[in-house]
Amino acid sequence: MNPYAKLITLTSLILGTTITISSNHWAMAWTGLEINTIAIIPMISKSHHPRAIEATIKYFLVQATASATILFSSMINAWISGQWDITQLTNTTSCILLTAAIAMKLGLTPFHFWFPEVLQGSPLTTALLLSTVMKLPPITILLLTSNSLNPPLLTLMAIMSTALGGWMGLNQTQIRKILAFSSISHLGWMTTIIIYAPELTLLTFLLYTLLTSTIFLSLNTSNTTKLSTLMLTWTKTPMLNAALMLTLLSLAGLPPFTGFLPKWLIIQELTKQEMTPTALIMALLSLLSLFFYLRLTYFSSITLPPNSVNQTKHWYTNKNTHILIAILTPLSTLLLPLSPLILFTT
């Protein structure tokens, strides 16, 4: 991509995200969402591959529909209550329409079908933006309107997302699709607690962004997109492969690592809210996600390929690992001892 075009798209992404998360008016929030959508489209389609063009069209149609639904919901609320303030969402129809639109933008079940396909057709760096930065504005709108939303509807969508993210990730061989279903599963955890403890949703999103950024940057450094290629990366970058294994276990939520912290706090808060069955269901469904994380770990660091794989051998590998990976990997695995400080501040 042309450097000037890349500068314009990245600036537009930052501008759109800033407008949405700092606005208190529905029109300004909608404007920020539209700027984000238009800015990310050239980054998805920059390879000019038919798969990338298909992903771009799917993304544009879904995001345009969701943005129009958000605008329609805010107009209904303003017509009935006379308020354009985001926090003054009082109409029931507007609440349901807004929940559906935000679920469509985030990729929550049952509006999740577009997300794995778009991620599969995007480059790894663009897939990282779609999984992290592009989810911040919709989550911010959910946080601002959390007091007006329907708790049973959000809980049902969260359980469905966690279940589907675990089930659909089991039989995938493309790493981007596995990480897409992982994102859907983590969004289910964020949605469960957003009404009762919004600060935990924000903490979960920040830690998820940290872990996912580490994984995508590691995959981008080793140029890995499939499980068959992942089995060969240990010969090229053994230290990076070991760090990737630990980060995947952290994203799975195993106790010694950073990823265990948000699940622990969410289950604790759900138990305090007398939602023990929901906490139990979410904990059991997370075992499905744990299975394919362990599968990724098994392929990356423990097994050797049993036969010759039809992949081009790299005679020379650039060993200059990105400096961000060196910074993010310790944070992705060793932040759990800081949990008493986080609990004290929250």
Count of alpha carbons within 13 Å of 100, Cβ hemisphere only?
Answer: 12
Residue 197 has what DSSP assignment?
-
Over range 291-309, report the average pLDDT: 72
Residue written as tokens 């995001």?
Answer: 63
Strand partners, 174: 226
φ, ψ of residue 270 in degrees (nearest 5): -65, -35
Residue 90, Cβ neighbours under 10 Å: how many? 11
Among left, alpha and beta (phi > 0; psi -120 to 50; other), residue 233 is alpha
The whole-model pTM stands at 0.90
Indicate if the pLDDT at residue 295 is higher than 60: yes
Query: Residue 199 is encoded by which pair of tokens?
Result: 């600060």
DSSP β-bridge partners for residue 85? 25
Distance CA(2)–CA(236), nearest Å, equals 30
Cis peptide before 152 (omega within 30 of 0): no
Which alpha helices (DSSP H) does 82-197 contain, by range? 92-106, 114-120, 124-131, 136-144, 151-168, 175-193
What residues does each domain of the chain span?
Answer: 1-149, 150-345
Highest mean pLDDT out of 196-200, 316-320, 327-331: 196-200
β-partners of residue 188 are: none
Percent above pLDDT 90 for the chain: 54
Banded model confidence at residue 346, pLDDT cuts 50, 70, 90: low
**DSSP state letter for 110:** T
Q: How confident is the model at residue 71 (pLDDT cuts 50, 70, 90)?
A: very high
Q: How far apart are the first and last CA of the chain?
A: 43
Q: Give the pLDDT score at 345.
A: 57
